Amino acid sequence: MASQKSFESAVNSIRTFLSARPPYYNGTYPVSPEQLTLFYGSNGSNANRINLAKATPQELGKLEAACQLATFGVNNENVYDESYRKAGKMDFADFATSFDVEDSDLLNLVDHGLLEGDDEQRAIKLELYKLNVYGKGSFFRAHKDTPRSETMFGSLVIVFPTPHEGGEFILRDKEHEWEVDLAKSISESAQQPCVSYAAFFSDVEHEVRMVTSGYRVTLTYNLYFAPVGIMPCPTVSTLAPYEQTLAQALYEIVTNDAVLPDGGYLGIGLRHMYPVEEGTDVTDFRNYLKGPDAALGRVLSALGLSWNVRVFYRKVDSREYLHSRIVDLSKWGQMCCDVIHAIMRRSGAELVQHVHIYGTRKSFYGCSCLDWSEDSEEIQETKYVQLAEVTDLKDNISQVQLYVMYGNEPTVSYAYVKLCIAVDLPFLGARSINRLQVQ
């Protein structure tokens, strides 16, 4: 059995792996002057033409004037508030550009730069969303992109080489912050003309700082995972080098005799948030995990471990559950704990009891664990499953309600929540782990 010191080191390695890589990828991409031609017009007006490689301030001012005022989504409504967002927008039906992202190598760069491991080979579906013009004094305060489906995983912003200052792109993920000056990237690029770009996961908070001069012209695309076919099961030997480090840490944990000797779940909180609505089967995200979350799933499969995506409900009337579905508990009001428990159990939730990862039982919050029989209204005892928390499992009680959320569009049903991976460990005598060849 490994020492507690080496065991804690393995746990820390997993936490570091999930948080180490920035949740975005940016760069510049060379284009020809002809690819920077933009046509625009709406409501039956004559089409206008502008070349963004050599546009004059007057031409850019005309483009800005042709835009609508950019709104944002809050509490399922479109809101215009210049204290939060000041910019112009143009819907994709009102413009056309000669720069075709899908016909360029840019999407491959984004694929390899943002995604990891086998996901780098996955097809990405690209959806043109909007054109935005940020003139002097324009900005967009911190927000997250509005989730549109369970397969949407990110956004791609392309900045054209129109002269401007300010408008830095800021991304935040927990305690980390990154500043990306896309205008500076263009001016410093050895390849001219070019566009700059930033691709990022859609649950990452971001903002556009105030433009102090000129015009910042951007295209935004939504990024979706294409449907997956039958994918080969990874093996330890086929893992990428950086995934081997994660495999070593997980191997040390699951082969430790002190970890769930009687069986149970290892709970690993995922780094990214995922778009759900009430009733969503979160196990579908097994095929749509993002970045390090996807790498975690590949490593678990390579080790031969049984795992799936779950939503964790902490202290629901003093009980805790793992569930494969999203349940909006807010609509049930102030019901007694046994009624809530019956609702959760009948919908398929598993009652869990926390134990420390190194084998020490945690205190269990709860009244008597009772359930209603399916065949009668009798109340009967319910067993719980032990859950050892490897990384922080976020409380999703408030998150699964429809709540006020600032985004680039209003949302009616989808909201971001934190999910986890539950690794189903048998009792020690039945546990079989693929052997890890230590490098």
Q: What is the pLDDT of residue 400?
A: 42
Q: Number of folded domains in the chain? A: 2
Which pLDDT value is given to residue 20? Answer: 86
Distance CA 397, CA 315 (A): 9
User: What integer pLDDT is reported at residue 407 of this predicted model?
Assistant: 52
User: Are 404 and 318 found together in one domain?
Assistant: yes
For every residue of 277-327, DSSP letters joined together read -TT-BGGGGGGS--HHHHHHHHHHHHTT-EEEEEEEEEEETTEEEEESB--
Whether 221 and 75 map to the same domain: the answer is yes
Q: Is 7 part of a structural domain of the chain?
A: no
Give pLDDT, residue 311: 93
Q: In what order do the strands lie in the sheet with 95-97?
A: 48-51, 37-40, 95-97
**Among 171, 204, 225, which residue terminates a domain?**
225
Residues 211 and 249 in one domain: no
Q: Based on the domain organization, do 279 and 213 belong to the same domain? A: no
Instruction: Decide if 401 is inside a domain.
Output: yes
Do 220 and 315 belong to one domain? no
Range of the domain at 315: 235-430
Same domain as 160, residue 256: no
- Rounded to two decimals, the pTM is 0.85
Give the H or E element holding residue 351: strand 350-355
Do residues 265 and 385 touch, judged by C-beta distance below 8 A?
yes
Looking at the fold, whether 297 and 151 belong to one and the same domain comes out as: no
Q: Which of 198, 225, 252 is the last residue of a domain?
A: 225
Return d(Cα 162, Cα 159) in angstroms, integer: 8
pLDDT per residue as tens, the chain (439 positions): 556 677 788 989 999 999 888 999 999 999 999 999 999 997 767 889 999 999 999 999 999 999 998 876 665 566 778 888 899 999 999 999 999 999 899 998 998 889 876 655 677 889 999 999 999 999 999 988 887 888 899 999 999 999 999 999 999 988 899 999 999 999 888 778 999 999 999 999 999 999 999 999 999 999 999 876 655 567 666 788 888 899 999 999 999 888 999 999 999 999 999 988 888 899 999 999 999 999 999 999 999 999 999 999 887 767 889 999 988 776 666 666 677 778 888 888 899 988 877 655 554 444 444 443 444 343 344 578 999 999 888 765 544 433 334 455 545 567 888 999 999 999 988 999 987 664 4
Please report whether residue 153 resides in a domain.
Answer: yes
**Whole-angstrom distance, CA of residue 195 vs CA of residue 36:** 9
Residues 137, 243, single domain; the answer is no
